[in-house]
Amino acid sequence: MKRLNSLLLLGALGLFTTACESDDPIDQPTTPEDTGITMALKTTGGDESEFIIIQENIMEGEITAQGTGIEQTGWRFYYPVGNTLFASGYSEDNMATAYVKNDEGEIVESGKFTFENALEMFGHSNDGETLLAMEIPRTGYGDRKLYFVDENTVQVEKIVSTQIYASETEEKVAWPTALEVRGNHLFIPFHKMDPQGHFTTPSPDSAFVAVYSFPDVEEEPIKIISDPRTGNIGVNGATTGLIEADNGDLYSFSSGAVMAGFSPASTKPSGILMIPNGETEFDPNYFFNVEKATGGEKLFWFDYVGGDKAIARLLTHDDGAAWGAFGRETFNQRLVILDLEAKTVTPVSNVPLHAKRYSSPVYVEDGKVYLSIETATEAFVYQVDVESATATKGAEIQGKTIKGFFKL
């Protein structure tokens, strides 16, 4: 991911011009496709260029950026709100661009805005009109900045500054792992992290969620709730630390794994907590101990797929390197369907163990989820039938991964 420091700056500003250039994407249409699925494709080689591409059939053939797709500059987060896809960059290209599908079925740019460093956490209002995005200082006790961006006009309407949580005496700050709106509340689960920028997790043995009023988010949360039954909620880079079920219950996942970036690891089991609809406290009677249910596996990612079910990736072991789940050294991620109410874990059949570092929120259509599954030597689209927990192997990905599937 992105690192900013003076040394690299010297390199970048000095004799060495890297291939990382800035860019304003151009308002040019891609190939018209009426019914296609929009994808954020990360290619292999060199700077791993990323492209937004649209393709009708993603279950056969291949998915490639050869001669097609809207070129992105540098690493991008992709987050959909309503019918708009936001692609947001890092400091090499500190801007976000919004894309929509026009009447001809083409993906076109609908606006852009800039920010200072990087927006690293995303959410949206329940009416689908507002993107929520948070800029998070990597060091120090400064404010986290919550951007409110109109989905239609792509104008930043306001920025609210909040620390979420900070303690200078304990030397801890908050790193948010979801921006989840429900009713008139905004829930922000977070890691307690060192302020030096080492991304260590000095309080790994509790779950924390800051609760704000919404839409009038104040500088201070209404309260911070915590729960000692499991570790910090969420994983760096994933926007789905907290998800909302059909009935309005909120479910969080806690990993605590070294491979997922925890340092030290949590001594508490990896599992799922619930904040019931209408309430702003964890349900003391609900805990889905996933680690126990799987005989020792830890959650790395989950997302809501309907019917009180979540799709999840479990780390079959936690013996890899620190942050190893973000790399391609260890292929130990197992795809499962979690029944949040029944607290069951069902493996998704026909999917190999894999590694996957970043996902936009999943796209679900007719009870089917599309995922990018990458093994040591190949990358394929898989369509997962939630009900039967079976997967069908689809098109081959000519690249490293598809970061997200979207229907605009």
Partner 1 sequence: MSPQSRRFILSVQALLFAFLASGQENEILISGKVTDNDSSPLPGITVYLEGTQNGTVTDVNGKYSLLVEPGEIQLVVRGLGFQPERMKISISENEQLKVNFVLQEDQTELGEIQITGKTDAQVLRETAYKVDVLEAAKYQNLSVDLNQLLKGTAGLNIRETGGLGSGFSLSLNGLTGNQVRYFIDGIPMENFGSSLSLNNFPVNLIKNIEVYKGVVPVSLGADALGGAINITTGSRQISFLDAAYTIGSFNTHRASLNGQYTDSEKEFFLRLSSFFNHSDNDYRMQSVPLYDLELGNFLGDISTNRFHSEYTSGMAKLEVGLLNKRLADELSIGLTYSENRNNFQHPDNNIKRVFGSFHTTNETLMLSSIYRKKIGSLDLESYILGGKIQQRVVDTSSYKYNWAGGRIERVENDMKGELNDRRSLLELSDNIFRTSITAEYDIDLNNRFSTNFSQNYLSRSGKDLVNEFNNSYSSPSHLNKMVAGGAYSFTPDSGKWEASVFGKQYWYSGTIISTDYLDNTLKNELNLSNTGFGFTATYWPINKIQVKASFEKAYRMPESYEILGDGIYVSPNPQLNPEKSYNGNLGAVYKNMVADLKFNVETNVFLRASQNFIRFRPLGPFGQYENLNNVRTEGIETAVELSFKDRINLAVNGTWQNLTDQTKTDEGLPNVNYQSRIPNVPYLFGNARLGFRPFQSVFGGNMQFYWNTRYVHEFFLTWENLGSEANKNVIPAQLTHDLEVEYSIMNGRYNLSLSINNLTNEEVYDNFRIQKPGRAFYLKFRYLLR
> Nearer Cβ to partner 1, position 35 or 66?
66
116: buried, middle or exposed (CB in 10 Å: 19+, 13-18, 0-12)?
exposed
Instruction: Please state the closest distance from residue 209 (CB atom) to partner 1, in A.
Output: 22
Instruction: Please state the closest distance from residue 16 (CB atom) to partner 1, in A.
Output: 4
Instruction: Please state the closest distance from residue 137 (CB atom) to partner 1, in A.
Output: 6
Residue 51: other Cβ atoms inside 10 A: 19
> Nearer Cβ to partner 1, position 70 or 391?
70
> Nearer Cβ to partner 1, position 36 or 69?
69
Q: Which strand (E) or helix (H) includes residue 95?
A: strand 95-101
> Nearer Cβ to partner 1, position 200 or 383?
200
Instruction: Please state the closest distance from residue 74 (CB atom) to partner 1, in A.
Output: 9
User: How does strand 179-182 pair with strand 298-306?
Assistant: unpaired
> Nearer Cβ to partner 1, position 200 or 390?
200
Q: Which of 315, 372, 383, 379 is nearest to 349 (CA)?
A: 383
Partners of 187 in beta bridges: 180, 211
Instruction: Please state the closest distance from residue 93 (CB atom) to partner 1, in A.
Output: 6
The number of C-alpha atoms within 13 Å of 177 and in the hemisphere containing its C-beta is 31
- What is the separation, in whole angstroms, between the first and last Cα of the chain? 27
224: its two tokens: 């911070």
Instruction: Please state the closest distance from residue 238 (CB atom) to partner 1, in A.
Output: 12
Interatomic CA distance for residues 128 and 82, integer angstroms: 5
> Nearer Cβ to partner 1, position 29 or 215?
29
DSSP letters for 354-408 = B-----PSPPEETTEEEEEEE-SS-EEEEEEETTTTEEEEEEEESSSEEEEEE--
